[in-house]
Structure 1
Amino acid sequence: MDFLKKYESFIFKNASQISSIESTLRSLTYILPGRFDDADLASEALFSTLNLLGIYHDTILTKHVASLPATHRPTPSPLNRYTRDWQNSSLTYRRIAMLLTVIQYTEVLIEMGVQKKWGQQYKWRVITALEAIKAAGRLTLLRLTNQRMIMHPIHTERDVDPSTLADLAEAQQSVKESHWTGTRTGSTRLQLSAVQKNNSSGKAGGKSDVTEFLLSKVLTPDVVRKPRDLVGILSGLGAIGEYMFVLRPLIYVLAMRKYGQKSWYPWFLSLAIELASRASIKQYLASRPGGGRGGSGTLLEKDEMKRRLWLLLYYVLRSPFYDRFTKERLHNFCESASKKPLISLVGGIVRDYQPLWESVYFYTAGS
């Protein structure tokens, strides 16, 4: 426990450097594949470790942000408000969210390790098991949230600049001098003398300072909404569409195991489920009372629907479509790019990742 406390203190004091190191090492994982024997496995192991360590770092940073005065805390993103509300109110939600996050960050590494150690047969058993666990977890989250759309990511994101946390002591001291705290409500407010001081320090820009201050206090609809109202409840066609989206990866894997990876049936079945799910949810959101501007859902729902639309691009990297159409075009692109100075770097990375797209399921699973 003493070690963890010391580590937390170290992370807090060196937050900005830690973020830089994380970013540098994470960038390194993108250029390692194909460089030496087992480079793919080493790269994925490093990537998974960094992601898991990043979650722990986020909890440390969040803890210190919570200790900041209310006036100095960064405004949380709508996704973090929504996710944190469910995590704080339900231990089951928090545990399932953590389980799904760990699987998401390690599934590629697990698949590659199992394939290297035990071969293809055991690999597909593990893939099926992981997809079943993910489906069961998401179905449980659907029940816990009263059939609300599953957001991505399922965990809170880092929405604070770590370098600003180093000034915690100064911020607290500044608040003591320029703010007062109500004895009954506990609310912290700026003192009038501090306002006058700020105004006198910039006479020429006084009006603009006031305008900027007022604009910073403008409340948007998402800020006013309760956290759980940021994602609406699905019912009828919308709920059916969400269940289809959750079960689609598991159905796809089971179909591939039955009909084979080269069969068009699993590919078309998965695509049909994906499109039907999207159409069902969009139709429900368009008809839902108070479903957001234009009847297209809340801001978080719109963002999630956009993300799911981008996931459709994975179908061009999945067999048999990949073998029939995409593979040759990627090869031609890499060949032509190798003759051009800057584009050759992109072509080289694409060439290094091609074997992974072809052999590792979770690279293009979109689940």
Structure 2
Amino acid sequence: MGTARVWGEMGRWTIIVLIQLAKAILRLLLLLWYKAGIQTSPPIVPLNREQQQSLHSEGELSTYVGRRSSRVVRSLQNTPSLQSRHWGSPQQREETQSRRAEEMNQPPTPLGLQETIAESIYLTRPLLHLLSLGVWGQRSWKPWLLSAVLDISSLSLLSDLKDLNRRERAELRRRTILLLYYLLRSPFYDRYSEARILFLLRLLADYVPGLGFVTRPLMDYLPAWQKIYFYNWG
């Protein structure tokens, strides 16, 4: 947006192409050279700082084992603060944390030739879409159809892959759900979705008490959001 104000449309599209080109090259390098497998979003799991603080405080806790029941409970002298306290047993907490750590640290699933081609299609799709926009223009249906075909083809080729880890399965579900965004992308949005979405939001604002505080600002912001999202396709 800043580049568009300073250097105009040509500068804006130049920056978009350079960013997408850099992203595609780095992702293909991870896929083909480092065998990173299906690339998730975000690529690195965000650090849960509250969880880390809780684990740090729990490491200093002492526990008491009941003589008759053999039940493990906390010592009242070393009870953590209310913010970092949990109500499960220490063993359950440790098992849950170790299971999550094991799931997140699983190596990527090896990809065969078909799956590598499918992931390459997904990674290069933003560049192909930008190229098609330059050839056919922003109002043409061809870039929209090309991108949709590439997305669906990539998911279809990856659907045969078995034994995916948890993050990879979540990533494929995310990509499938994102296909709904094609309803909000031009030119489909301009010709079909816009009128129906605005009608539904206006209906909710007029007849459902309280929803107008949410739907009316959304109606005002939707055109700007759709325009920004349209050229941030990748």
Aligned CA distance change for structure 1 residues 223 and 154 (closer, same or farther; 3 Å): closer
**What CA deviation, in whole Å up to 9, does each residue of 1:321-344 have, x standing for no partner?**
101111101221232233243221
Cα deviation, residue 363, structure 1: 7.0
Aligned CA distance change for structure 1 residues 226 and 261 (closer, same or farther; 3 Å): closer
SS at structure 2 position matched to 1:158: coil
Name the Cα RMSD after superposition: 3.2
Q: Is the 8 A contact 1:316 1:322 kept in 2?
A: yes
Q: 1-side partners of 2:103 and 2:210: how far apart?
A: 47
Structure 1 stretches lacking a partner, 5+ long: 1-111, 179-193, 292-296
Aligned CA distance change for structure 1 residues 333 and 117 (closer, same or farther; 3 Å): farther
Residue 244 (structure 1) aligned with residue 133 (structure 2)? no
State the AA in 2 paired with 1:137.
L
Q: Is the 8 A contact 1:259 1:266 kept in 2?
A: yes
What number of residue pairs does the alignment pair up? Answer: 219
| Aligned equivalent of 1:300, options 167, 172, 185 | 167
Residue 343 (structure 1) aligned with residue 211 (structure 2)? yes
Identity fraction in percent: 26
Matches within 5 A, 1:1-367: 112-161=1-50, 164=53, 171=57, 175=60, 194-195=62-63, 198-199=64-65, 207=71, 209=73, 212-218=89-95, 223-224=101-102, 227-229=105-107, 231-283=108-160, 285-286=161-162, 291=163, 297-339=164-206, 340-361=208-229, 365=233, 367=234
Cα deviation, residue 356, structure 1: 1.8
Q: 1-side partners of 2:69 and 2:231: how far apart?
A: 53
Structure 2 stretches lacking a partner, 5+ long: 75-87
TM-score by length of 1: 0.52
TM-score by length of 2: 0.79
Q: 2-side partners of 1:300 and 1:267: how far apart?
A: 28
**What CA deviation, in whole Å up to 9, does each residue of 1:257-310 have, x standing for no partner?**
211111111111100000000011111x13xxxx2xxxxx11111011011112
Q: 2-side partners of 1:364 and 1:347: how far apart?
A: 24
Aligned CA distance change for structure 1 residues 364 and 341 (closer, same or farther; 3 Å): farther
Aligned CA distance change for structure 1 residues 125 and 363 (closer, same or farther; 3 Å): closer
Q: Is the 8 A contact 1:142 1:148 kept in 2?
A: yes
Q: Choose 272-281 or 336-345, whichever is displaced more.
A: 336-345
Q: Choose 257-266 or 119-128, whichever is displaced more.
A: 119-128
State the AA in 2 paired with 1:139.
L
Q: 2-side partners of 1:225 and 1:360: how far apart?
A: 36
Cα deviation, residue 154, structure 1: 2.0
Q: 2-side partners of 1:315 and 1:347: how far apart?
A: 21
By percentage of residues, which structure has more helix?
1
